[in-house]
Amino acid sequence: MNENYYRKINLAGLTIDAHIDSSFGNIRNFLDKFANNDLEKNEKQKYKIFFSKGNRKIELSNEQDSLSIMGDDIDDLYNPFNLIGITQAIFRFTAMHLAQRGIFLLHGSTAILDDKIICFGDDGGSTAKTLGSLEIALDSKRYIADEFCFFDSQSKRIFGYRFIPIHIRPVVRNHLETYHGFSIPKSNYKETMAGEFIEQDKLFTTVSGKLKGLTYIHFSEKGNEIQKLSVQEAIKAFNFCITSHVAKLLHPNLDRMQFSSMTDTDAPKVIDEKLVNEILTKITNGREIVPQSLEQIPSYRLTVSLPCQITDLLRKETF
């Protein structure tokens, strides 16, 4: 591997040594957005990520302290399979090592409604995370992050990175156009079968702050309701929400958007409860972090027949 370039980056508080093939100028520029200038350049870190040419793949070391991202054409970051694939890999790698500090990568999309930060999460059966966040962001014009939200369980702060684009699948675009008269502006990213990717700043103001509520959307023709989850239900849903990303790093076949083959599918991928519990124990080292993390943050199950019902339902609750 040609390690002509080196960066020390910081993701959500984890410092990582990044080694980049000399021909990958776009990846260097992308990683500079995570630059860590507080440490000496020659101070070696435990965690490492390598970007190199070769057969297209993502590979975790046996010790799980280093990650290799390979491909001859991965420097084309206007190709969303490259940008999102790389982002998924480095964020998921980071999540594996931050959980013991009580910092979790939520598999969810987060925005603001009436000055309250609400995350639409993945409980294993929920859907419309991005759509839910867009529904309330169209009202507030403020957004946190799509798909990759870091949550600090001590401060209750949730944040993302504004330069990671929002992934808008065709069904979401059609809904926004049909029911809200909202057209997605032209983007610099290539449109694929997976839909469109749009720079977050073209749509909303990016903010961060304390998380006020976790919601999990389910669709049903029977009507619409919002139900506050019991403590055990909330813990079970949150366990899935914080392990889903890591599960897909450890088991790439569980990911809908495949980096290696550059394919995408709408077909659901099932992550069973046994795997969730195994990963949770692994990344927290068996510590009881999750119940503490949910103190003072209510969790809700939203059942709707139409996405437009989401905002009104949330306004009925006191977060």
The tens place of each residue's pLDDT in the chain, 319 residues long, gives 455 788 899 999 999 999 999 999 999 999 999 986 665 556 677 999 999 999 999 999 999 999 999 999 999 999 988 999 999 999 999 999 999 999 999 999 999 999 999 999 999 999 999 999 999 999 999 999 999 999 999 999 999 999 999 999 999 999 999 999 999 999 989 888 778 999 999 999 999 999 999 999 999 988 789 999 999 999 999 999 999 999 999 999 888 888 888 887 777 678 999 999 999 999 999 888 888 888 889 999 999 999 999 999 999 887 7
Specify the pLDDT at position 39: 55
Q: Which of 249, 83, 94, 241 lies closest to 163, judged by CA?
A: 83
Count the helix, strand and coil residues of the chain and give each as a percent rounded to the nearest 5: 30, 30, 40
pLDDT, residue 265, reads 74
Full strand arrangement of the beta sheet holding 14-20: 5-11, 14-20, 47-52, 66-70, 57-60
Q: What is the pLDDT of residues 93-138, one digit of tens each?
A: 999 999 999 999 999 999 999 999 999 999 999 999 999 999 999 9
Q: CA-CA distance, 119 to 146, in Å (whole number)? A: 10
pLDDT for 270 equals 81
**pTM flag (> 0.85):** yes
DSSP letter assigned to residue 202: G
